Every structure is written in C-alpha cells, then in structure tokens.
C-alpha cells in the first residue's frame, strides 16, 4: 500500500515538473489551416525560422475549411487566450477582428524595425489591413478571380486573343460551343461559380464591378441600381438565354466543379482563382499547354475587376510574445520567403517586387497578368455582420439564376432584407 502511494506521488511530481518545464521555455504559436500540403509547407517555413532565430515557434494545425478555422480562432480570442500569438486571416475576417479589438496594431513595430510597407500593394493594404490610420495586418499571399481560356480553340476559330468584354465572350462562346458540341455534347462556353455559397458573392461582385458598381457605397449597402440589374441579367442570360453556362451552374458549380469541367476539356472559358493554373498544367491534364490566363471580361465602357481573396497575418492583442511574433511576420514578408511561396506552392506573393523577379517570371509566365489583375480588385464589404449580408446576397442571386425571380425583383428583395439586417445588427 505504502509503495503504491509513493509511486502515485512520484508520478504526480514528475508530471507537475513537466508542466513547469514546458512553460519556462516560452514557446509561442501560430495557427494555420488549409489543404494538408499547404500546412506542410508552413511547417517547413516555421522550422527554418526557428533555426535562424533560436526561438521556439510552434505551428498549430487548423482544419481545412475556412469557416471552421474562423470558428476556432473566435473561440480562443473571445476567451482572451494568450494562444494563438499569431494567425492567418481570410480577407473578410480582418475587419471583424479589428472591430472586436482582437488585433495588435503593428505601426509601433513597423517604425521600430524600419520595416518598409511600400513593397506591398497599397490598394490592398489600405482597403483591408488599415483601419482608421492604423495597420493591423499584413498580406501574406493574394488571390484574385481570373479568366482561364482555351488558346487552341480560339486559334482554331480564328480569334487572336481572349475576349475583353462580356459580349465578346458570349459571341465567341456561342460560335465555338455550337461547333464543338458535335464531338462533345457536354461542351459549354463558360463555367463559373453559381452555387449558393460564398463563392457566388465573389462572382456576383465581379459581374457588378465590371459594370462600374459595387455592393457598398459610402458605408451603406446599395444594391438596387440599374447597373446591377444589367449585370445580374447577364448572369442569368448566360445560363438561360445564351445557354453557354450549364444548368447546374446554380446548383452545383463551386471552384472544384468548374475546374474539373474546364480541365476535362468540357469548357472554353472558366472563371476561377489562381490555384487552378498549376493543376491544369499537370502532366495528366488533358488541357496542358492549351490554355491561357487573363483578366476577367467587363461591360462596354468599363474595366475588368477581380474579387480580392487571399490570406493576411496578424498578431493577437492577447499574445504574450508580440516582439517574437513580429519577427516571424518580418520573416514571412521577406523577399526570399515570398519568392519561395510562389515558386514552391504557387501562391501569389504579397510583395510587388517579387513579380519582377527573373526566376519567378521564367517559371510562371502568368505573374504579369496577376500583377495587372491586382491593380483592379474589389473587396467584399467589411462589416462585423458580413456573413449575414453575404447569406442574403447568395440566396437572392441564386434564386435569380434558378429563374425563380427576375433580376429587378431579386435586387429589390435583397436590398429590403439587407436594410432589415442593418436595423437588427447595426445598433450597438
């Protein structure tokens, strides 16, 4: 009996001293999720950083899905936990986190370490990372919506380059789709993301922005305009009038569905994020070497606009290792690391200067187009209740694509519900 008590006490003592030890080492953490291969790459970066600095930064793996990643962060931050010290944020979260007072302003660190923020795209920095003249986050990599096209088919039918306007896209699609259908009954002119989810808001924003409009004007949600009606009419017409987009656009089409259709060779044009390029160039891809990439089309007398995506890094206000965390942010923002991001995982660097790197241009001839697209981006609304706003847009745009209501009606109902949301959530 005595022996047993001593044994238990020993075990307890060892475990307590173990807890003590790990605390005195002062590790700090960064939380990152995403596709497994992406997180693996981050693990490599973190161990490289630890080797260089002698710090003990720990990578905590998060889920793949964006919503779940946010949920995890929200729980820890709401409880004011010292962990995570740093994390990656999707563009639409940053404002929500700032308003909740969860992010450490970075200006103090920027000045102290003579960090040059001019190397980043200023438009992105100003629209996403800055709030009331304070800097809260820095971009790590960027994403934009782009137009993928089949070079071989355009050449075959005598077109010199990709379409610049939506009407050109429609005409070329109609002609080529008709001819190609003889061999491939599943061939479609244009595939894009029309299912009821966040991606639909990104697509909708690109259509309306390429007609010179936006979701928010002067801090107010303003959707019911003639420009937006024209844009939404075009989205519906692509499916029902011209029939160049498949009927399942509004039920099934998300990023991967459109990518698969295009990569199978079943589509002439595709709207997708930048990730689809590397996959389409795989050795077993039927469209390898036959495709091109350009900015999205626009309405006559307007310009192309891409929805801004991508991930940004910030420091938690509750972190107990802010200085060290800033060191890691500097490391991630360095020219070398940004360059290795694009060369190894195909992410578009947040630094402008990397786009002129000879090695990068040699490996990815498309970076020039990305650089152009990044000059004209549209950001989704920055509101603490953005998710609810997005949900309303998704529902009515999708209803309209399904042909249940006409664009005018959809925009009217959307506006009415958005106004109600502002009434419910807009008051403190």
Partner 1 sequence: MARSRKKYSSGQTWQAYIFNSPLILITLIFVFLPVAGTLITGFFRNVTFMPNKFIFLENFYRLFGDVHFWQSVRFTLLFVFVSVGLELVLGMMFALILNEAFPGRGLMRVAILIPWAIPVAISARIWQLMYNFDFGVINYIVIHLGFVSSPVNWLGSPVGAFFSIVISDIWKTTPFITIILLAGLSLIPDELYKQAMIDGTNFIQRFYYITIPLLRPVIVVALLFRTIDAIRIFDLIYVLTGGGPGGSTSSISLYAFKYYITGDFGYGSAISIVVFILASALAVLYIKFGNFAGELK
Considering only 62, 96, 173, 245, the residue that binds partner 1 (CB under 8 A) is 96
141: buried, middle or exposed (CB in 10 Å: 19+, 13-18, 0-12)?
buried
Residue 66 within binding range of partner 1, rule CB under 8 A: no
Alpha-helical (H) ranges within 181-334 are 198-209, 226-240, 255-264, 276-280, 322-333
User: Does position 335 bind partner 1 by CB under 8 A?
Assistant: no
Beta bridge partners of 270: 148, 191
* Dist. CA 357–CA 341, nearest whole Å: 13
Measured between alpha carbons, how far is 379 from 75 in angstroms, rounded to an integer? 26
Q: Does 67 bind partner 1 (CB under 8 A)?
A: yes
**Interface with partner 1, residue 115, by CB under 8 A:** no
78 vs 359, which CB is nearer to partner 1? 78
Among 206, 218, 200, 220, CA closest to 166: 206
Residue 403: CB minimum distance to partner 1, A: 9
Smallest gap from Cβ 88 to partner 1, in A, equals 18
The encoded tokens of residue 315 equal 């420091």
Which stretch, 20-28, 225-233, 350-358, 380-388, contacts partner 1 (CB under 8 A)?
380-388
Number of Cβ within 10 Å of residue 8's Cβ equals: 10
Q: Segment contacting partner 1 (CB under 8 A): 31-39, 226-234, 305-313, 379-387?
A: 379-387
Q: Which segment (45-53, 54-62, 247-255, 314-322) binds partner 1 by CB under 8 A?
A: 247-255
Give the span between the Cα atoms of 372 and 294, in whole angstroms: 9
Stretch that binds partner 1, among 55-63, 193-201, 204-212, 289-297 (CB under 8 A): 193-201
- Minimum CB distance to partner 1, residue 391 (Å): 6
Smallest gap from Cβ 102 to partner 1, in A, equals: 9
Regarding 199 and contact with partner 1 (CB under 8 A), the answer is no
CB of 95 to partner 1, least distance (A): 9
**Cβ–Cβ contacts within 10 Å for residue 396, how many?**
26
Q: Residue 359, interface with partner 1 (CB under 8 A)?
A: no
- Per rule CB under 8 A, is residue 216 in the interface with partner 1? no
Scanning 17-25, 51-59, 154-162, 192-200 for contacts with partner 1 by CB under 8 A, the matching segment is 192-200
Which of 97, 115, 95 minimizes the C-alpha distance to 106? Answer: 115
Residues 108, 134: Cα–Cα separation, whole Å: 10
Shortest Å, Cβ 193 to partner 1: 13
């Amino acid at each position: 009996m005595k022996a047993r008590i001593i044994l238990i006490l020993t075990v307890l003592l060892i475990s307590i001293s173990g807890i003590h030890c790990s605390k005195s080492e002062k590790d700090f953490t960064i939380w990152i999720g995403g596709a497994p291969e992406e997180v693996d790459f981050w693990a490599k970066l973190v161990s490289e950083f630890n080797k260089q600095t002698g710090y003990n930064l720990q990578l905590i793996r998060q889920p793949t899905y964006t919503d779940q990643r946010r949920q995890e962060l929200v729980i820890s931050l709401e409880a004011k936990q010292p962990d995570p010290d740093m994390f990656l944020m999707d563009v639409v979260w940053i404002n929500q986190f700032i308003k909740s007072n969860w992010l450490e302003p970075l200006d103090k660190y920027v000045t102290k370490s003579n960090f040059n923020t001019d190397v980043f795209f200023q438009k992105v920095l100003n629209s996403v990372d800055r709030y009331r003249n304070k800097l809260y986050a820095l971009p790590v990599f960027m994403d934009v919506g782009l137009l993928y096209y089949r070079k071989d088919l355009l050449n075959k039918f005598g077109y010199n380059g990709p379409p610049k306007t939506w009407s050109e896209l429609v005409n070329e699609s109609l002609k080529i789709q008709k001819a190609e259908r003889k061999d491939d009954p599943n061939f479609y002119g244009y595939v894009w993301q029309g299912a009821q989810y966040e991606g639909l808001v990104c697509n909708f924003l690109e259509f309306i922005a390429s007609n010179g409009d936006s979701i928010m004007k002067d801090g107010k949600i303003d959707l019911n305009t003639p420009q937006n009606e024209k844009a939404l009419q075009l989205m519906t017409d692509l499916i029902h009038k011209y029939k160049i987009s498949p009927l399942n656009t509004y039920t099934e089409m998300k990023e991967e569905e459109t990518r698969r259709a295009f990569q199978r060779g079943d589509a002439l044009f595709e709207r997708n994020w930048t990730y689809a390029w590397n996959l389409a160039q795989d050795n077993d891809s039927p469209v390898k070497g036959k495709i091109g990439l350009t900015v999205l089309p626009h309405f006559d007398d307007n310009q192309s606009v891409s929805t801004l995506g991508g991930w940004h890094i910030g420091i938690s206000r509750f972190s107990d290792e802010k200085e060290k965390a800033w060191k890691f942010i500097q490391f991630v923002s360095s020219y070398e690391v940004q360059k290795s991001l694009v060369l190894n995982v195909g992410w578009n660097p947040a630094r402008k200067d990397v786009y002129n790197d000879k090695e990068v241009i040699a490996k990815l001839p498309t970076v020039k187009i990305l650089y152009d697209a990044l000059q004209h981006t549209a950001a989704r609304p920055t509101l603490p209740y953005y998710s609810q706003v997005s949900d309303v847009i998704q529902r009515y745009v999708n209803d309209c694509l399904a042909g249940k209501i006409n664009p005018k009606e959809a925009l009217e109902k959307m506006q009415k519900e958005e106004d109600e949301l502002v009434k419910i959530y807009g008051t403190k």
